[in-house]
Chain A
Amino acid sequence: MLMNNALSKLQKDPLAREILQLRAKELAAQHTDEQPTEHHSLEDFIHFRLAGKEDYGIPYDVIEEVLVVNRIAKVPCSPAHISGVVNRRGDMLTIINMRQLLHVAGDIPAGDQSHIIVIKTGTLLVGLHVDELVGNSMFSRAALAPAPQSANAKDSNYFVGIHMGRISMLNIPSIIGDMG
């Protein structure tokens, strides 16, 4: 009976079944990789949240600083994923809407305090507009779970891996590079 119930809950869709099988293999392979990760050093990352439920992390190596701004000035004729620009100590900083970028439904709620994560890859300096800055924490690249196969994700290169099975660690250079 239990078996019947459990089987009835299995995905019927072939794509979903394939993704689930891949994830199972990855999870099965993790045990062999866990041993060497214990020697890897821990890295800091900034933990943020979108739409109140999706948790993301950005490693410190690309982060310049975090900002709380009162107002984001909108730029006309800009793509949907550009929130606008802010004045950062006299320099103009382009702000990217992370919900648009990561295809998370809905808009970031407008408030007098917008949380911005300023990142720098190469010479490019941009601000990522997020719903909420949760804080900072530490992660181990070796301990990261592989990024799940996702229909929504354009490219699994956008994610470094999944920290603690919950926080998706973003591959910022890949994302920004694709933006071109």
Chain B
Amino acid sequence: MNKAISTTDLGINIKSADRVNRMNFVRFNDEDARLLKELGKVVEPNADMIVEDFYLHLKKFPSLLQIIERAGSDMDRLKNKQKEYLIEMFCGNYDDHYFLQRIKIGVIHNKIGLEPQWYLGSYAGYTKMIIPLINAKYRFNKTKANRMIEAFNKIIFLDSQLALDAYIKDLTGELESTVDSYSAFVDEVAEGNLTRKVAIPDNEELARLGVRLNEMTSRMAKMAGQTSEASDGLGTTIAELLEAVNNQSSGANQQAAAVNETTSTLEEIRAISQQTLEKAEALGSVAERTRSEGERGKDVIEHTIKSMETIRGQVQGIAENILALSEQTQQIGEITATVNGLAQQLKMLSLNASIEAAKAGEAGKGFAVVAAEVKDMAEQSQQATVQVNSILQEIQRATDKAVMVTEEGTKVVDSGMSLVQQSGQAMQSLTQTTREASLSSQHIVSAIRQEATGIDQIATAMSEISRATTQFVDSTELTKNSAERLEDIAKEMRDSIKTYRI
């Protein structure tokens, strides 16, 4: 079991210079080594006896025995080891190898928990047994005996120094390794590995510290676990919050968009309504104008009808007058006919008178002149009646024509009147219709005004909603930013917790 142990494992490295230095300090020289080798020839035959005595003495200390039992060793093996050790002591070659072997022995003793007291104490047993051997061998050479005892002491001191060194080194090595392991553990913990537990060393004090460290680490692990869970939960909650906020934000944005759209649509509706209002007002004014024009037209037509009736009456009067005139001309014609007949008769009479005068011969000459005069007058009156007749005929023709014309005029007036009456009726119905249209357009205008007011109210409400939505969007954005910041914080927290391995 000891073969594998090297000086580095032990943490002890005695350099050759150090070895020489130590040997010089105790004034160990080559003579000492030669003397010890010489002494070895004396000791070696007595080695079993010395070891036996040593173990007899050892059995008187049960606590020491317990240590040996615990180490799992037996007496025979120990005795062999002891014997080897003793013989080596007098090998005469105290080089680096010797030193290393001695340190190993100290280390092994320390490992099995054999405290230095026992180890160092055992040298007393060696001196007790060997010094008498020296004295016996060199009883006649006291100087050599003394010199030999001196060399023996020197090697005992060197050996015990080395054992003690091993003890101290081992003890400090244990402390150091524990501190190292604790330090490494603390480093690991510091780096976040909370899964490990520190190995508890044998040393009671150090073990207590280790237990505390483990407790602390486990508590930290628990806390870190809780924090991780909490931060996970926080992360989930923040994610949910973010999602909700995002949903809210997108909803708010949609709402804002919808509100904007509605507002623009409302604007369009308002513009259209305004146009409609203008058109309806224009229509109303047109309808009103049409109505008044229609009323005027109606008046004009009534006036026209009255005028036509007057014209009709006048034309009828003219016709009657002309008829009367025609009758009178006819009477004149009759009279002139009578006059003409009378003139003809007068002419005949004058002819007969002239004939009678001719019959009377010379006596009737004067009468013949009178008859001729009468005849001329008759002829003149006949010509006058002819002229009158021709004039009368012209008058007759003119009156006939006038009668015809007036009849035609009456007919034209009649048809004109019926036309005017028809147009009057048409105008009346048109006026009625335009009146209704005017009324309707007024209704439309008032309805559109109400509608426009309603639209304005809606627009105001929409702008309120828009403002509220914008605020909502802004606050949602703020919330989102906060949530995102929160998420970042949570992420940071998670990341920092992730450094701990639980």
Contact B351 A135 (CB under 8 A): yes
- B-side contacts of A68, CB under 8 Å: 344-345, 348
Interface string of A30-71 (1 = CB under 8 A from B): 000000000000001010000000000000110111111000
Chain B positions 319 through 350: 1 when the CB is less than 8 Å from some CB of chain A, otherwise 0 = 00000000000000000000000001101100
Which 8 interchain pairs have the tightest Cβ spacing? A60-B358, A66-B351, A65-B352, A44-B358, A68-B348, A63-B355, A136-B354, A136-B351
Could you jot down 5 A-B contacts, CB within 8 Å? A60-B358, A65-B356, A66-B348, A66-B351, A67-B348
B375 at interface, CB cutoff 8 A: yes
Count class of interface residues, chain B: 10 to 19
Judged by a CB distance under 8 angstroms, whether A113 is at the interface is: yes
* A64 with B355: CB separation less than 8 A: yes
A142 contacts chain B at the CB level, 8 A cutoff: no
Those of B5-51 within 8 Å (CB) of chain A = none
| B377 → A minimal CB distance (Å) | 12
Q: Which residues of B contact A (CB under 8 A)?
A: 344-345, 347-348, 351-352, 354-356, 358, 368, 372, 375, 379
Known: A44-B358, A60-B358, A136-B375. A66 touches B344 (CB 8 A): no
Q: Which of B345, B356, B358 neighbours the largest number of chain A CB atoms within 10 Å of its CB?
A: B358
Beta-carbon contact of B344 and A113 below 8 Å: yes
Overall SS of chain A's interface: strand
Tell whether A147 is near chain B: CB-to-CB under 8 Å: no
**Residues of chain A within 8 A of B356, CB atoms compared:** 65
Q: Which residues of A contact B358 (CB under 8 A)?
A: 44, 60-61
Q: Which A residues lie at the B interface, using CB under 8 A?
A: 44, 46, 60-61, 63-68, 113, 133, 135-136
Complex: chain A residue closest to B357, CB-CB: A44
Nearest residue, chain A, Cβ from B378: A135
What is the bound-complex CA distance between A60 and B368, given in angstroms? 12
B contact residues around A66 at 8 Å (CB): 348, 351-352, 355
Given A44-B358, A60-B358, A64-B355: A133 touches B348 (CB 8 Å cut-off): yes
Chain B contacts of A63 at CB under 8 A? 355
The interface residues of chain B lying within 8 Å CB-to-CB of A65 are 352, 355-356
Bound-state CA distance A133–B352 (Å) is 12
Measured in the bound complex, the distance between the Cα atoms of B357 and A65 in whole Å is 11
Q: Which residue of chain A has its CB nearest to the CB of B376?
A: A135
A62 to chain B, nearest CB (A): 10
Known: A46-B355, A65-B352, A133-B347. 9 other contacts (CB 8 A): A44-B354, A60-B358, A65-B355, A66-B355, A67-B348, A68-B348, A133-B348, A135-B347, A135-B379
Q: Is the CB–CB distance between B351 and A46 below 8 Å?
A: yes
Which residue on B lies nearest to A44, using beta carbons?
A: B358
Query: Once bound together, how far apart are the Cα atoms of A6 and B246, in whole Å?
Result: 136
